[in-house]
């Protein structure tokens, strides 16, 4: 992170809001209701969330930003960065970013709250495009190097390496 971004990060006010929704007219399970709200939020800010759950008369779900420091697994990569041949690891932040959805089963109300200490950029998409996945499936009888060579000759946008072609 460069110095200018670091200064902006320190001066950025936290983002949070809370909203109550009456769900008495819905015939959905509590988890379906929370999934609906989280999908809406993910569409708006394009981040992904992990969840945990606890409850009694109220069911509460927490969704965490995938870029939180405490969600990072220990790196299994070599210490020498020059040996890396794949995408960089996503940037992690120590800031709190949580979606909390509490469903009051007795009153049929949902309390939705979002807290985000620092608005950061979305991680780069390192997924493989569906047309490339389909092509690999159609030609699975070929060796990975042959599939890769055909993908290159067809001019498809390759965001993968030859060694990543396997099932």
Tokens of 152: 């290159």
What are the pLDDT digits (tens) for 86-144? 556 555 656 667 778 888 888 888 888 887 765 555 555 556 777 778 888 888 888 88
Read off the DSSP letter of residue 164: G
Better pLDDT: 104 or 41: 104
Tokens of 71: 């969600």
- How far is it, in rounded angstroms, from Cα 42 to Cα 40? 5
Better pLDDT: 83 or 55: 55
pLDDT of residue 56: 77
Q: With beta carbons less than 8 A apart as the criterion, state whether 145 and 163 touch.
A: no
Q: What is the mean pLDDT of residues 61-73?
A: 65
pLDDT of residue 72: 55
Name the band, by pLDDT with cuts 50, 70 and 90, for residue 57. confident
Q: With beta carbons less than 8 A apart as the criterion, state whether 109 and 23 touch.
A: yes
Q: With beta carbons less than 8 A apart as the criterion, state whether 159 and 128 touch.
A: yes
pLDDT for residue 82 is more than 70: no
Q: With beta carbons less than 8 A apart as the criterion, state whether 116 and 97 touch.
A: yes
pTM of structure: 0.50
pLDDT of residue 101: 84
pLDDT of residue 29: 76
Q: What are phi and psi of 112, to 5 degrees?
A: -110, 125
pLDDT of residue 92: 60
pLDDT of residue 60: 84
């Amino acid at each position: 992170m460069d110095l200018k971004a670091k200064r902006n990060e320190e001066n950025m006010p936290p983002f949070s809001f809370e909203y109550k929704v009456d769900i008495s007219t819905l015939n959905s399970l509590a988890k379906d209701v929370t999934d609906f709200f989280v999908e809406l939020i993910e569409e708006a800010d394009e981040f992904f969330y992990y969840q945990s759950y606890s409850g009694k008369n109220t069911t509460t779900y927490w969704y965490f930003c995938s870029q939180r420091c405490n969600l990072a697994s220990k790196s299994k990569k070599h210490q020498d960065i020059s040996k890396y041949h794949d995408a960089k690891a996503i940037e992690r932040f120590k800031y709190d970013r949580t979606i909390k959805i509490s469903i009051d089963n007795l009153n049929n109300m949902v309390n939705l709250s979002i807290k985000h200490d620092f608005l950061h950029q979305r991680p780069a998409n390192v997924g493989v495009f569906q047309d490339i996945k389909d092509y690999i499936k159609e030609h699975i009888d070929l060796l990975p190097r042959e599939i890769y060579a055909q993908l290159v000759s067809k001019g498809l946008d390759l965001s993968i390496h030859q060694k990543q072609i396997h099932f």
